[in-house]
Amino acid sequence: MSASASAPRLRLDPRQPAVSVAGTTLVVLALGLLLELGGRAEWWDVIPPLSAMFQGVAGLVGDAQFWSDAYRTGLEVAVSLVFGSVFGLLAGITFWKLPAVGRAFEPYLVALYAVPLALFYPFMIVLVGINVWSVILLATAMAAIPMALNTAVGLASMRPVYTKLGRSLNLSPRQMLFAVALPAAGPYLVAGLRMALVYSLIGCVAMEFVTAQAGLGYRIRYLYEIFDDTGMYAYILVVLLISVALTVLLGLVERLILRGRISW
Amino acid sequence: MVSTSSLTIARSRISPLPKIALTRNTVGPVVLAAAVLLLWQISSGLVFVIPSPAATVQELFANLADPQYRTDLAVTAGATVRAFVVGAGIGFVLGLLVGFSDWAKALLEPLLVAFNGLPKIVLYPILLQMFSLGGGKVAMGILFALFPVFVNVATGVRELPPVYWKLALSTRASRWQRLVHIVLPGIRKPLLTGIRLSVSLAMSGVVLSEFFATDRGLGRVVLQAFSHAEYATMVATLVLLIVTSFVISVALWNLEKKIR
């Protein structure tokens, strides 16, 4: 309704993607400039200037410790993403095939949607020990929940004409699943995969941050405890940069995969 | 992003009588809970670090009788409530802004969506320095709680049918009247979805922060019990946190399904 006043004098249309990208870039640059100037002029004493943080990040590139932490976190995220998506997909298909099972699990999945599961971490380290598996097990569960719910919703909202076509072609249950149902739920599955990656990354870093032996989240905690603020800010910035890069990349991949699909 | 309101498993449009629906939708989850309890009981006999369900409940009541523990409980509850109220409030205002203004959507939405994908917990050391031990976890909870309300309000406002605005024009409703009589009722369902997610995220943000560093709170109790190998206290506190979050979420979720 606010757009109703868009008279010819307004030349930039915020609804155009290019304008949005340029505008967002400007906002990011302005925020970065504020962080740089504020840090230099010491308007606040907490966050160092952005250039100093980026210098710290550049210093990490040649640091073997950094690569070993990044490898640890990357391994945890990758393993939990693979396990989580497979379990989530299987669970989603089960909920679709056996609605009674779906109804039994539904309130728990909805109420414990991903992030609150991280609270079980202290219990997990008692059971499994402070190692890579306690992180992977919980991150797998965190990744599996959005994948399972998205798969179930995607399959349940499939248009009936698809299954009718499959039946009239006398497809086997396996063909029905792989050739009809899963492709029909495609956009939901891709969105589920994206959320699974986001949650496994959030989960792994958050759990390392609570306590661990290695990993990017653990290193931030360690540097905080030994009062190495410069190193800590470099690690925080690296984690944020990696996550933003992943989010942007996933958005592009999602668009690429779904390109050419008939919208419905 | 698929809004979470559509993530509930689709059921038939024609809803059966409420009583039937209640039994149909309660039996499964209760059976599952009983199975998990049974599994818990069996594994507590096999692994010595797992306290049995009965021992856990006993420990929980023993803890609740301890005034120290109740202080920790009150600190965590207070921080969660503050984080939820402020976070949901900020999310609501941002949601209205992005829902109504094309410019706010163009400039802010990509940033907010990218921010949601971040492991925000790594900002906690910074928040600690800015807001001290008591305020840092509330700030963390706010960052956790803000997003679901924001995204649901923004999409809710965008999906309001245009005929509503024609009605507002024809009745010459003021801005405030439009907000109270058109927007709020119109987005009640996505708003409730946002609030439901926001409550459990506020609690997760606060407790995760308490795991890291804080003066008082149940998160600290859990980690302390862990380092002293008092596993019954640890499990009892975790169960208290998870069950509280679960009960609130399910209550809001049922409310959400009831309103149309």
- What does the pLDDT look like over B70-80, one tens digit per residue? 999 999 999 99
Say what the pLDDT of residue B177 is.
85
Are B247 and B162 within one domain?
yes
Does residue A8 lie within any of the structural domains?
Answer: no
Does the distance separating the beta carbons of B208 and A118 come in below 8 Å? Answer: yes
Chain B from 5 to 24: CB within 8 A of any A CB: 6-10, 24
Residues A224 and A188 in one domain: yes
Does residue B3 contact residue B155 with C-beta atoms inside 8 Å?
yes
Distance from CA of B219 to the nearest CA of A (A): 9
Long-range (24+ apart) CB contacts under 8 A made by A120-124 are: A120/B238, A120/B242, A121/A207, A121/A210, A121/B211, A122/A210, A122/B211, A122/B222, A122/B223, A122/B226, A122/B234, A122/B238, A123/B234, A123/B235, A123/B238
Does residue B39 fall inside a structural domain?
Answer: yes
> Within a domain: residue A264?
no
Q: What is the pLDDT of residue B152?
A: 92
pTM for the structure as a whole: 0.86
Same domain as B188, residue B252: yes
pLDDT of residue B24: 56
Q: Is residue B8 part of a domain?
A: no
Residue B119 structure tokens: 């492991």
In this structure, are B182 and B207 located in the same domain?
yes
Using alpha carbons, list the distances in angstroms from residue A38 to A43, A48, A225, A228: 5, 8, 26, 21
A119 and A160 assigned to the same domain:
yes
Residues A243, B105: C-beta atoms closer than 8 Å: no
For residue A254, is it within any domain?
yes
Q: What is the mean pLDDT of residues B89-108?
A: 89
**Domain tally, chain B:** 2
Residue A32 and residue A118 in one domain? no
B197 touches A at CB < 8 Å = yes
Around Cβ B25, how many Cβ atoms within 10 Å? Answer: 16
- pLDDT exceeds 50 at position B2: no
Neighbours of A22 (CB within 10 A): 14
pLDDT per residue as tens digits for the range B167-195: 888 888 888 888 888 888 888 889 999 99
pLDDT of residue B84: 95
In sequence order, which residues have a C-beta less than 8 Å from that of residue B107 and are 6 or more positions away? A14, A20, A23, A24, A26, A27
Contact A157 B31 (CB under 8 A): no
CATH of the domain at A223: 1.10.3720.10
Same domain? B42 vs B118: no
For residue A20, which residues of chain B lie inside 8 Å, CB to CB? 105-107, 109-110
pLDDT at B85 over 90: yes
B73 and B139 part of one domain: yes
Determine, for residues B10 and A149 on separate chains, whether the beta-carbon distance falls below 8 Å: no
Mark whether A28 and A131 lie in a shared domain.
no
Query: Does B37 share its domain with B119?
Result: no
| Three-class DSSP category at A37 | helix
Which residue stretches of B101-217 are H helix?
102-116, 124-158, 163-170, 175-177, 184-186, 188-212
Q: Helix count (H) and strand count (E) of chain A?
A: 12, 0
B138 and B225 assigned to the same domain: yes
CATH code where residue B114 lies: 1.10.3720.10
How far, in Å, CA of A57 to CA of A62, rounded? 10
Q: pLDDT tens digits for B203-232?
A: 999 999 998 887 888 999 999 998 898 888
B245 and B182, same structural domain? yes
What pLDDT sits at residue A260? 63
ipTM of the complex: 0.84
pLDDT of residue B92: 94
Tell me the pLDDT band of B14, cut-offs 50, 70 and 90: very low
Residues of A in contact with B118 (CB under 8 A): 202, 239-240, 243-244
The one-digit pLDDT tens for each residue of chain A (264 residues) are 444 444 455 577 777 888 888 888 888 888 888 888 887 877 777 778 888 888 888 888 888 888 999 999 999 999 999 999 999 999 999 998 888 888 888 888 888 876 788 888 988 888 888 888 999 999 999 999 999 999 998 888 888 888 888 888 888 888 888 888 888 888 889 889 988 999 999 999 999 988 888 889 899 999 988 888 888 888 999 999 999 888 888 888 888 877 766 554
Domain that holds residue A34: 14-47
- B34 interfacial to chain A (CB closer than 8 Å): no
Query: Do A62 and A142 share a domain, yes or no?
Result: yes
- For residues A42 and A56, membership in a common domain is answered with no
Average pLDDT, chain B: 85
* Angle at CA of residue A70, ends A66 and A72, nearest 5°: 120
Same domain? A174 vs A73: yes
On whether both A37 and A69 belong to a single domain, the answer is no
Regarding whether B106 and B32 lie in a shared domain, the answer is: no
At residue A92, the pLDDT reads 92
| Same structural domain, B28 and B124 | no
| CB burial of residue B162 (10 Å; 0-12, 13-18, 19+) | exposed
* Counted domains in chain A: 2
Residues of chain A in contact with residue B246, where contact means CB-CB under 8 angstroms, are 108, 111-112
Determine, yes or no, domain membership for B16: no
Same domain, B229 and B161: yes
Q: B202 is in which domain, residue-wise?
A: 51-258
Do B187 and B118 lie in one domain? The reply is yes
In a domain, A86, yes or no: yes
What is the C-alpha separation between A148 and A101, in angstroms, rounded? Answer: 12
Say if B212 falls within a structural domain: yes
User: Is residue B84 domain-resident?
Assistant: yes
Question: What tokens does B102 get?
Answer: 């094309």
Residues A181 and A252 in one domain: yes
